[in-house]
Each structure stands twice: as structure tokens, then as C-alpha cells.
Amino acid sequence: MAQKPVKETTGERVLRVATELFAEKGYEATGVEELSKSTGLGRGALYYHIKNKQQLLLNIALRLLENANREARRILASGGTAEERLHRMAEHLLTDLSTNRSAWITSMRDWQALDEPYRTHVGHLRNEYEQYWQALFDEGAEAGLFHPVHPMQRRAIVGMFTTSYRWIEPSGSLSPKQISELYVSLFLDGLRKRPSEQA
């Protein structure tokens, strides 16, 4: 495989520009006219490539979540202890959050703008993603490594990661891997000093 075609199709370009616009101003606040101007396409040309505005939002969310679930399954099935895979899971999420920040912002913040049944479908994909984390925690607990994780704690942990779209910046001083390690050590080892660690 020498090199995939460098040029993105017009449809892909529209989706990319829409992702950035939605992330910046919000889905509802972004007009089709603005998308038209930002892509350099007229209204008619725009609608030649997309079905409607809502499909753009749906595609952004679907692409993001389906990819996340695919990768989560891959990591879950990969070798190593539950803790090792947990680190991988965390690093991958932070990396994805950093590289696809706009799509994460839009998916997390504006998914309620979706009509049924898309909205429910997206919700299911999110639940599915959370279950992969839960599976890892359960594995760790069964192996005697972790304390059992309450579902509400699992939601908090995953939420802690995903809500990072608020401040993550690809140009930040810490790499996604470093940040993920900061997070994992937080909920794995905790902040409290052991008696043996006291100064």
C-alpha cells in the first residue's frame, strides 16, 4: 500500500468543516449559510453532498463512537493484565480526545439535538463504550487486583476522561499519555499518603 490518496473528497471536507464549526459555536447556533461560506460551496452544492444538517451531527457522533468502541474491543481482547489494558484504554481515549477534540466536543455537548431514533442509538453506543471499561474493572476485581467498582464510580471515571475535552489541547505541555497516567494513578492508587510514606 504505497500511499492513500492525499486529497479528501468534498463530502469529507464538508464533514470536517462542520465538525469544527459545530464545536466552536454549537450545533444549533451554526447556520447552514455559515457552513456554506466556510466550505466555499454554495447552498445547492452543499446539499448535493449532504442529506441535511442533522445527518452531519449524526455522522460526527457515529464515526467517533463506532471507532471508540472498535478500539476498546481491540484493547480489551489484547494481552496482559487488566491493569495493563486499563492503561492502554486510558491512553487511547486521551489520544483520541486530543486528536479529534472538535468531534468530541460536539458529540458530548450537542447529541441531544438529534431526533429519535438517532438520539437513542447514540446513547446505546455510549453505554456500550462504558461497558468495555466496566469489563476491565470486573476482570481486575475477579483477579483480586482491584476493589469492586460501583457502576456509579465507573461512570465517574469514564466521565472524568471524556469531560477532559473541555481543557485538553493538542499543543499542551503534557502528552495524552502523560495525562492518562495522571488520571489512572489517581483512581488506582489515590491521593492519600500511606503511613509508610509520611514524612
Name which of 41 and 165 has its Cβ closer to a second copy. Answer: 165
Give long-range contacts, CB 8 A cutoff, 24+ apart: 155-161.
Answer: 155/130, 157/133, 157/187, 158/129, 158/130, 158/133, 160/187, 161/90, 161/93, 161/94, 161/97
**Cα–Cα distance measured from residue 55 to residue 121, given in angstroms and rounded to the nearest whole number:** 13
The least CB distance from residue 53 to DNA, in Å, is 3
Name which of 41 and 168 has its Cβ closer to a second copy. Answer: 168
**Cα–Cα distance measured from residue 46 to residue 49, given in angstroms and rounded to the nearest whole number:** 6
Which of DNA, a second copy, none is residue 32 near (CB under 5 to 8 Å by kind)? DNA
Q: Which stretch binds a second copy (CB under 8 A): 5-13, 47-55, 64-72, 148-156?
A: 148-156
**Cα–Cα distance measured from residue 143 to residue 138, given in angstroms and rounded to the nearest whole number:** 8
Q: Which stretch binds a second copy (CB under 8 A): 9-17, 63-71, 73-81, 162-170?
A: 162-170
Name which of 41 and 88 has its Cβ closer to a second copy. Answer: 88
DSSP SS3 for 115: coil
Can you give the binding site for a second copy, defined by CB under 8 A? 25-26, 28-29, 109-110, 112-113, 137, 140, 144-147, 149-150, 152-153, 155-157, 159-164, 166-167, 174, 179, 182-183, 186-193, 198-199
